[in-house]
Structure 1
């Protein structure tokens, strides 16, 4: 990676990990009072499959300079930790690749009775890719689609990844994020469908101030689908483009799949604001990234 690409991608990955790890704390009932009071739960904060898979995206880009789908599938499988909270379909797929030499293309083609997954897994891990290719949104969209197809072949699953990656690219290269205009530009790169419709709805809901009110229409990831996850995340960034902490608390307050929605928002804003824009105490409390990701390497 060039220095600028690497700096942006590292900041995105670390922002994603912080959002993921802190967000995951709020699946623990004892920590819910911290969410309501916006106080920090006890550390360390452990990240989930969102960060583990994002590390593979980052590592493959670092080695190849582009998405090599075979290398990405191999990395997902090699570093798959069942206890990180993977969905059952991806758990099975990665286990078969690692233990039985399964062909990822055949396995993903068989998923969901051949329809492919429209889950939010491809969107949750892709922000560092958008940061890496930030100055070429069309290339971002193509590379995001390639990264998604390794596990999520349904058009909505792919669209969710494209939307997050392009949103990251545009947010990290613009001095200002003008909410409606930024969302419209993101939508221009997303294929027609439910994710794109959700982004249009997010634009209409920008006058709202409360993320919970927006989530009532946009979704909050509770259904684990791209279309009920990505639009809210983009709405939050449009509302809080320059304040990582405010964006995190707004996202978490909406409930649902909190680690994933906060990972997406954290990844976008990490790329936009850089590491200096992520609260230092939050970075310190977050579980370190794995050595194999190559974050601290050349």
Structure 2
């Protein structure tokens, strides 16, 4: 198999996450979703949610950091995202992503993300925001840490975890975020999903209080695929960090072949839980694994904010040039 260009994997990760997000968005709170295709708005667009919004702002924070002072830069980027959730549109002097009107849509943002960013101080390991929260909002925005150039999987893990405590202070919340970033890093370097996950587990288990995340990922790796909602719901419902990550891994493993990405994404969103987040994480994984070319082209073409997602992916690639 030919070696995929880094550009394709980076673009695939961000676009794949947006596709999975949009696929799961309409059924996030449905008990029996039965998703078979993208649901489009009246304007013919597949609408993204806070998952993709925050992921894009994570990328912007990384780029603006230049690799130095990453936690502070990402925190400020997420504060700019927070402003989009209560302002009607871009302020007069807004720049970057904050100047894009479509990002001012409020699409069921997570309570911990909002309350953590509302504090007015940056959460740290010593003084985390929401110390009891391990919602999946810590994970769904963390793929970009694995895409940042010239970092190891260990570095990606550490940076994602450090930025997760800005809003989610429970160890499982930030350790699941770190594990996700490490998996993405290994995928970017050419590993398959199982190998990438096993290697990330090696990083995870060196951390205290890793047990919940480890248990969820082991369940995903060891549970054979079964069709229907009941299959993926053996892993969880995705409202909490470790379950969302594990469900995405389970779905990605179910149909890992590059010509089966559509099927994997459908598995990832067809359950009675947090479908947009599990879809987004699965899309991130398979996009990083197989590149942009493996994504369903008809779905990508319908994405809300497609040009912006592509632009910021290209900016991230250039940051490592």
User: TM-score normalised to the size of structure 2?
Assistant: 0.77
SS in 2 for 1:105: coil
Q: Deviations over 1:3-40 (max 9, x none)?
A: x65553332111111111121022487x956x1xx233
Q: Deviations over 1:73-108 (max 9, x none)?
A: 111111223313212232233345xxxxx22238x9
Rounded Cα–Cα distance in structure 2 between residues aligned with 1:126 and 1:275: 19
Residue 138 of structure 1: aligned partner: 154
Gap regions ≥5 residues in structure 2 = 86-105
Distance change in 2, residues 1:105/1:143 (3 Å) = closer
CA contact (8 A) 2:192 2:289 kept: no
Structural mapping, 1:238-253, within 5 Å: 238-242=253-257, 243-253=260-270
SS in 1 for 2:39: coil
TM-fit CA distance, 1:71:
1.5
Rounded Cα–Cα distance in structure 1 between residues aligned with 2:200 and 2:305: 31
Rounded Cα–Cα distance in structure 1 between residues aligned with 2:45 and 2:29: 14
Question: Is residue 184 of structure 2 the alignment partner of residue 168 of structure 1?
Answer: yes
Residue 103 of structure 2: aligned partner: none
Distance change in 2, residues 1:172/1:211 (3 Å) = farther
SS in 2 for 1:294: helix
SS in 2 for 1:117: coil
Rounded Cα–Cα distance in structure 1 between residues aligned with 2:255 and 2:111: 33
Q: Which has the higher helix share?
A: 1
> Which of residues 71, 74, 87 is equivalent to 2:73?
71
Rounded Cα–Cα distance in structure 2 between residues aligned with 1:22 and 1:195: 25
Residue 275 of structure 1: aligned partner: 292
TM-fit CA distance, 1:118:
1.0
Distance change in 2, residues 1:165/1:110 (3 Å) = closer
Structural mapping, 1:231-270, within 5 Å: 231-242=246-257, 243-270=260-287
Gap regions ≥5 residues in structure 1 = 97-101
Rounded Cα–Cα distance in structure 1 between residues aligned with 2:161 and 2:149: 13
Residue 142 of structure 2: aligned partner: 126
> Which of residues 162, 176, 201 is equivalent to 1:187?
201
Residue 198 of structure 1: aligned partner: 216
Rounded Cα–Cα distance in structure 2 between residues aligned with 1:53 and 1:272: 21
Superposition RMSD on alpha carbons, in Å?
2.9
CA contact (8 A) 2:28 2:273 kept: no
SS in 2 for 1:39: coil
Q: Deviations over 1:211-237 (max 9, x none)?
A: 63443332021xx21122211111112
CA contact (8 A) 1:220 1:254 kept: yes
SS in 2 for 1:185: helix
Residue 51 of structure 1: aligned partner: 52
> Which of residues 24, 36, 39 is equivalent to 2:37?
39
Rounded Cα–Cα distance in structure 2 between residues aligned with 1:241 and 1:6: 20
SS in 1 for 2:169: coil
Rounded Cα–Cα distance in structure 2 between residues aligned with 1:149 and 1:199: 21
Distance change in 2, residues 1:289/1:175 (3 Å) = same
TM-fit CA distance, 1:241:
2.0
Question: Is residue 232 of structure 2 the alignment partner of residue 230 of structure 1?
Answer: no
Please, which moves more after superposition, 49-58 or 225-234?
A: 225-234
SS in 1 for 2:233: helix
Structural mapping, 1:109-120, within 5 Å: 109=127, 111-112=129-130, 115-120=131-136
Rounded Cα–Cα distance in structure 2 between residues aligned with 1:272 and 1:124: 17
Question: Is residue 112 of structure 2 the alignment partner of residue 94 of structure 1?
Answer: no
